[in-house]
Amino acid sequence: MTTDVDPRRAARHARAATSEIPEAAGHAHAHGGPVPPAPWRTRLVLAVLVLPAIVATGLGLWQLWPSGGEVPERIPVVVEGSELVEATVVRVLEGEEAGDASWPTIEDATVGNVEIRLDDGTTAGMQAEPRFELGPGDEVVALYIGDFAETETPYVFMEYQRDVPFALLAAAYVLVVLLVARWRGLAALVGLAVAFAVFIGFTFPALLSGQDAMAVALVTSSAVMLAVLYLAHGLTARTTVALLGTLAGLALTAGIGAWATGAAHITGTSEEIATNLPTIAPAVDLQGIALCGLVLAGMGVLNDVTITQASAVWELRALAPLAPRRVLFARAMRIGRDHIASTVYTIAFAYVGAALPLLLTVWLLDQTPLMTLTSGEIAEEIVRTLVGSIGLVLAIPITTAIAAMTVPRAPAAERARRESTSMGSGPSEEDTVQERP
């Protein structure tokens, strides 16, 4: 999930920060205005800095893109003679009427514990485990098994139908984003679609074909960030600053993650479904996939903090056009420290919510807290959280420094006019703006 921050939110933080600048805040509010466009020299330097990343991303996509023969064939969901059908639960049978509620076998598949109605109006028996708690009216997906065609229960419960609630949630999400963020929200949605196209078209096939997972992670994250940031925030110097900070944070995350996965023996086999992957795709590297997932998981939060920091510096400049760059950096870092404090526990809370059943299961085990935290099921997520947080924290001062050095100052003539005006009313901004701890 890439999370974008509206620059207006950064502006509110910026106004709070600059309001504490004595005298300068008053001058800034009186004379401040939109930050002028970055001069051509600044744009040239930014282009020189970001161009290698663009070239490296393109070369990486070309080098790592797997050929058709390298990618394992996709596994059919059902075997020949079987098919998935949609049905509606009519009633759930109980007691002797249900018979044997176990999954059907060749020897005994004569009764079912659920009666379903198919799309053509006919009814049939379906086996379903009691834990699914089906009831009349439930829309389900059933597997028709050809070998049981002559029995009373040729169907087995596979899944609930979720098309309608998913479609409603997606429509509500798109509508809310468009109503609140308008064209920028639409651009962000397009960027999200591009990101998933990269995942499906490049990342997944490359990992399954055995390509170097670290390289795949860096190329994927760079390509996604190039698309998402420029689509959502425009082709501006401020966006390029955020991109540079994001790429630096991702590089740090990848480097620290590579060390951490080896030192902590993160094998990528903590989940049962992952252990089955090598039997389907023998070329995969589970530890490498864990590292790749660690880097990709940090993209959204990194994008959040870097665009916020870049926007904060730009808004501070608009409010205090004559403030020294070191003061802009110091004030923006005060905003960054607040963001760090909130984001660190946001990441932790997100993990607790996603892995709550696992955490409850591990909590029931009679072992010390240290053994719990370092067990395979928990260790991988702790490493992912800690490494992602380190990359996030380091990206904030990097982005802020680049933004403070890059944000344009007021034109020379305008600075001279303001300085001459301030001489009659008190010290100038250059004199009164002092860096506070």
pLDDT-based confidence at 418, cuts 50/70/90? Answer: low
Site of tokens 């950064």: 10
Domain-wise residue ranges, the chain: 7-70+180-432, 82-161
Of the listed ranges 135-149, 224-238, 312-326, 333-347, the least confidently predicted one is 333-347
The dihedral through the CA atoms of 199, 205, 208, 214 has a sign that is negative
Closest CA to 4 of 243, 199, 204, 168: 243
Give me 399's structure tokens.
Answer: 């982005």
The answer to whether the beta carbons of residues 396 and 287 sit under 8 Å apart is: no
Kind plus residue range of the DSSP H or E element containing 118: strand 114-118
The answer to whether the beta carbons of residues 244 and 402 sit under 8 Å apart is: yes
pLDDT > 50? residue 348: yes
The answer to whether the beta carbons of residues 290 and 376 sit under 8 Å apart is: no
pLDDT-based confidence at 426, cuts 50/70/90? Answer: very low
pLDDT > 60? residue 346: yes
More confident position, 166 or 152: 166
pLDDT > 60? residue 417: no
pLDDT > 60? residue 423: no
Residues 6+ apart with CB under 8 A from 71: 205, 208, 209
The pTM (predicted TM-score) of the whole model is 0.75
pLDDT > 90? residue 240: yes
pLDDT of residue 112: 60
pLDDT > 50? residue 341: yes
For 82-161, CATH gives 2.40.50.140
Q: CA-to-CA distance for 419 and 417, rounded, in angstroms?
A: 5
- pLDDT digits over 89-132, tens only? 998 876 555 454 444 443 443 446 888 999 888 888 888 887 78
